[in-house]
Structure 1
Amino acid sequence: MSETATISIEVVYALPDRQKIVQLTVPEGTNALAAAQQSGLEQEFDDLTINEESHLGVFGNRAAHTQVLRDGDRVEIYRPLLADPKEVRKERAARAKARRETQSSG
Structure 2
Amino acid sequence: MGLKGDEDPGRYGIRKIKILKGAFKTPTLRDIELTAPYMHNGMYKTLEEVIDHYDRGGDTKDNLDPNMQPLHLKASEKASLVAFLKALTGEPTPVILPRLPIE
Say yes or no: TM over 0.5.
no
The TM-score bracket by the shorter chain reads under 0.3
Bigger RCO of structures 1 and 2 (CA < 8 A, at least 6 apart): 1
More strand by share: 1
TM-score scaled by structure 1? 0.23
> TM-score, normalising length from structure 2?
0.23
